[in-house]
Amino acid sequence: MSTPDYHLEEELRAQGFLRIAGVDEVGRGPIAGPVTAAAVILDPAAIPEGLNDSKKLTARRRDALEQSLRACAEVAVAHASVEEIDEINILRASHLAMERAVAALDPPPDYLLIDGNLIPRDLTLPARAVIKGDAISVSISAASIIAKTCRDRLMVDLAQQYPGYGWETNAGYPSVSHKNALRNLGITPHHRRSFRPVHNILYQDKSVSD
């Protein structure tokens, strides 16, 4: 099975683009918590070994790679809140988080490699969407690792404030135990009300009260 490499970046560098940022997001599927994006500019002379799609790595390996990336690469992280997700939908919110992460890089990149098949509409920099990019480009895989580790830590912190939902292990995804807790403990301010499992409980509760 192939692993991500630097060939897309090398092609772009040959065209004169030197500050190439990989951009990825994590957290479109959970029913709780924000969506998180990262933008990473790698130093071609100091690329950590073992970069890959964050979902293919153990938590320990992700944490180690995050530390390496923060030591040798330019890294920016941003979020879109639960309120924004419910207001503008998860796709647009994930793009908003990407736009914020890119804007946080200073100086700005001169080219973006973005995971997926769409380029966020408010990005004005030259960019390419790369389907399954975290398995193709090390810059995108680096961004996926940074976004995943940051969001997982955030959900562990939220789990301390709202125990019982298992966010420290399910990261807000709709596991059976999470959905059971939703029914038994109720909806928190960090649940996405536009997502079906949460929306259905709200609707059922309203029907009962009516």
- Is 168 annotated in some ligand binding site? no
Tell me how far apart the 2 most distant CA atoms of the chain are, in Å.
65
103-107 long-range Cβ contacts below 8 angstroms, 24+ apart: 103/78, 104/39, 104/76, 104/77, 104/78, 105/21, 105/39, 105/41, 105/74, 105/76, 107/19
- Is 115 annotated in some ligand binding site? yes
Position of tokens 């004005």?
A: 124
- Is 25 annotated in some ligand binding site? yes
User: Contact, 99 vs 123, CB < 8 A?
Assistant: yes
Distance (Å, rounded) from C-alpha 6 to C-alpha 133? 11
Q: Do you find a cis peptide bond into 30, omega within 30 degrees of 0?
A: no
| Angle 96-155-51 from CA coordinates, rounded to 5° | 70
Binding site residues for a divalent metal cation, as ranges?
24-25, 115
Binding site residues, as ranges?
24-25, 115
